[in-house]
Structure 1
Amino acid sequence: MAPSKSLGSQGLEVSAQGLGCMGMSFAFGPPKPELDMINLLHFAVNELGLTFLDTADAYGPFLNERLLGKALKGVIREKVQIATKFGIHVENGRRSYRGNPEYVRACCEASLRRLDIDCIDLYYVHRVDARVPIEITMRELKQLVQEGKIKYVGLSEASPSTIRRAHAVHPISAVQLEWSLWSRNAEKEVIPTCRELGIGIVPFSPLGRGFFSKGEKILEGLLETDMRKKEQPRFASENLKHNVELYMKLNELASRKRCRPGQLALAWLYHQGDDVVPIPGTTRLENLKENVGALDVKLSKRELKELEAVFHENCAAGTRYGDMSSSTIDTETLPVSEWQGSTA
C-alpha cells in the first residue's frame, strides 16, 4: 500500500504516488472501455492505496471527469483526493487558454457536476491565460475556496514569477510540471521557487509518457491520433535512435538494481525530496502494480550520481512539445495595471 504524505503547507494529505487518469479517456488513442477503467480505479484505491487521482476538464474534453464521477460513487469518494484542472478551452477542435473570473467559476461548477461531488480537493490552473493577470484568476479561486467548492489551489506549467504572484493572493498547495530523467529544466528555477514558498511538486509524465517503461516498443501499434506521434518530437524518427540509447542505459542500470527501468525512473524522482508526488498514468493493471513497486526501490548517492551522469539536463534529443505547444508553456502574465479585461 502506498504511504501518504503532505503536499504543500496548507494541510493537503495525499498518497505518495498519484494516478494520472488522462490516458483512460484522452490523448493516447480512443477512450478505453469504461468498466475496465472503473475496475482499475477501484483496484488502485482499495488495493494499492493510490488515493490522489488527477484529471482535467480538457481530457476528452469532459470524458475523463465523467469517468471518475462514475468510479467514485459511494464510499470510495471518502478515500480519495481528486485533482482536476481548468483553463484549456476546446471548441470546434481549437484550443485556447482562459482565466477570466466568469470562466473560472463556470468551469468549477461544471467539473463538480461531472465528478458528482460537492467539493474539489485540488483545483489547478491548467494553463495560464496571458491576457488575464494571474491575480485576477486567483481572486476568483480564493472566493471558490471560501464558498467551500474547492479546498486547495494549484498551478500547472507556471513560471516562477507567476507562482509568486499567485501565492501572494492565495496559498498555492501544489505546482504540476513535467519532471523526469529527461525533463529537468524545472530544477533551475521553478522547483527552488516552490520549495522556498512551501509548495508541493507534482511531476506529470514521470515515465517519459511510457518511454522509460518500454523504450521504443511503446510506439508499437500506436494510432495516428496518439499525441506521442502528433505533438512530441522526442518520439520522432530523427530523435528516437538517440533516445533509445538512453533507455538502454537505463535498462542496464535497472537490471543491476534488479528492478524495472520504469521503476528506476520513478525511484529517482522519489529521491528528489519528500515534497514530490509523481502521478504516473496507466490503463493496465500490471503497469499499475509495477509503478507502485517503485516506492520500495532505494537508491544510494552513488547510484543517483550514476543515473544523473547519463540523464543530465540536455540528454534527450527533441523538445517536450512541438513549437506551437511550447509557446504556451511557462507563460508570463500581464501586471494588473495593464489588464483591460478579457472574456474571450
Structure 2
Amino acid sequence: MPAAAPAQRSDGFAAFDATAQAEIESGRIPGAVILYGENGKVAYRETLGSREVAPERVALTPDTIFDIASLTKVVATTTAVMQLVEAGRLDLDSPVARYWPAFAQNGKAAVTVRQLLTHSSGLPADLDLVTRWDGEAEGLARAAASGLVKPPGTQFLYSDVNFIVLGELVHRISGEPLDRYAQAHIFAPLGMADTGFRPPAARLERIAATDREDGRMRQGEVQDPTAFRMGGIAGHAGLFSTADDLARFAEMLTKGGTLDGARILRPETVAQMTRGMTLPGGARRGLGWDVSSAYSAGMDRAFGPDSYGHTGYTGCLLWIDPDTSSFLIVLTSRLHPDGRGNVMPLRHAFARLIAERRGAVAIASTRN
C-alpha cells in the first residue's frame, strides 16, 4: 500500500507535499525528509513515505539518519580543509606533494590543493574498483599513485579521488584522522549530534537502508564502494546525518560561519569557499561547493546567482542562498530497495517550486 498522504496544508507548501508524494507513489524514491529554511527560519519541514519498503514497510521519522554520500565532501572535508587554511597550516595554491610527498608520483607534482577542491586537478573520477583491494592504507596508496587523465587546470572533471586526497591532507596536517577531526572541530561545536562516520549500532534502528550488498540489505554501512573498501571513512563519502543536523550546518553558513556562539569559519572564509569561479568547460564551482554545473539540478537558477550547494549519489541534496538566508535539504535513500531509484525528477520539480515561491515572495515584498 502507498504511504498515507499528509493532511492538506494552508501555509503555501501544499505543492511541496504533493510533489514528494507523487515521486513516492511512482516508486522512484521510498520516502523523503524535506526541510526548507527561509529568511533564517524553518518554513517547511515534512517527513513523507518510508525508511524501508523491504522486507516490510517502515515509516520515515524526522530524525531518520541517512547516508549522505558526497555531501561528505562539503560538510566534513571542505570545512576541515578551510579551517586549516584559516590557521595558516595549509596553502590552497601549494602543490599537494608539499604535504604528501608520495602524491608527486606519476606526473602529479604540480597539482595544487585548490585544483583538488575545484575538481580541476585532472585526476580520474574514482579509484580502480575492478581489481580486488581492501583497506584504508591501500586506498590511500592507490590515490597517491593515481595518474592524470587530463592536464591539471585544463578541465572540470568531478573526482572522488580529489577528496580522498584532501581527507588524507586533513589527517597529515592536523594529526587527527578525518572522522575525529570533523567530530571535534565541526560536528560537536555545532551540536550535530547524529552526524558522523561509521554510526554506532545503537542508532541502527533510525538509519535508512540503501541497497543490497552480498544478498543482504545494507543499513548503517556506507554505500559508496570505494569508501566501503576503505573502512567507511574517506574524504569523499561515508558521512551519515539527519535533516535537523544539516539545517544547523546550513544556518551556520548563512550566518557567516557562526552558530550559537560557536565559530566554525570566518565570514571571509565562507565567502571565499562559496564564491563561484568559472572552470574550463563552463562549470561554476566554489571550493568544494557546486555553484552551477551539470550536478545543480536547477537549484542554481531557483535560488539565485550567489547560491551554492551539493548533491549525493544516495539522493541527498543541500542548497543554500546566503542573500536570503534560505536553504533546502532533501534526504532520501533513492537506492532502496533495488538500487534503481531516481531522485532527479524530485530535484527538478522542487527547483521549479522554489523558483515560483521565491518569485511570489519577491513580488509580495515589493508591494509591502
Higher helix share: 1
Shorter-chain-normalised TM-score: which range? under 0.3
Q: TM-score, normalised by structure 1?
A: 0.24
Q: TM-score, normalised by structure 2?
A: 0.23
